[in-house]
Amino acid sequence: MVGFRAFVFQGSKTGMKALDTLEDNTPVYPWVDDVAVVSRNKHGHLKVHSTWAQDDSGKTGFGWGAVTGGLIGMLAGPGGALAGAAIAGSLGGLMGKGIDASVKDPRLDEFAEALDKDTSAVVLVGEDETLTDFATAVEPIGGKVIDTELDDNDVKAIRNALKD
């Protein structure tokens, strides 16, 4: 199984500050390049920043970072839990891919509802060991934890949508 874990914070910039803190850690966390920060400003506009989408080569890998971004793209798509959000940020071409797969999970709906105005979240999709390491690093920073498991069919649907 693959898991989804998010730490939701008050303040639209708090998630990015948390990521900056994590990126400054020595030794570097191996999962930090697969993390996404989702923030909603006081006007309700959604912004997504992902460390994995910053690759200057223009290549988009299909590792866990891409799966994280694909899942967020699905949540923000027309039928997703974040639907209707005006999205800005660095999801690269994922939003333009028209990801139309869907993942039905009440915990993902809870995540979307927690992203109210002036909030942010640090998000990671990965295997149990990675998510445990992620949680150990982020828990001292605070935030509301939302986690769930994605079944193999969900992950396969996300990866297939990213290939199209």
pLDDT in tens, 81-133: 564 444 444 444 444 444 445 567 788 889 888 989 999 999 999 999 999 99
SS3 7: strand
Instruction: Give the N- to C-terminal CA distance of the chain in Å, as an integer.
Output: 24
Q: Given a cut of 90, is residue 160 above it in pLDDT? A: no
How far apart CA 124 and CA 62 sit, in angstroms, is: 14
Inter-axis angle of helices 128-138 and 14-23, nearest 10 = 110
Q: Given a cut of 60, is residue 36 above it in pLDDT? A: yes
Q: In sequence order, what are the beta bridge partners of 126?
A: 3
How far apart CA 91 and CA 69 sit, in angstroms, is: 7
Phi, psi of 41 (to 5 degrees): -80, 180
Q: What percent of the chain has pLDDT over 90?
A: 37
pLDDT value for 148: 92
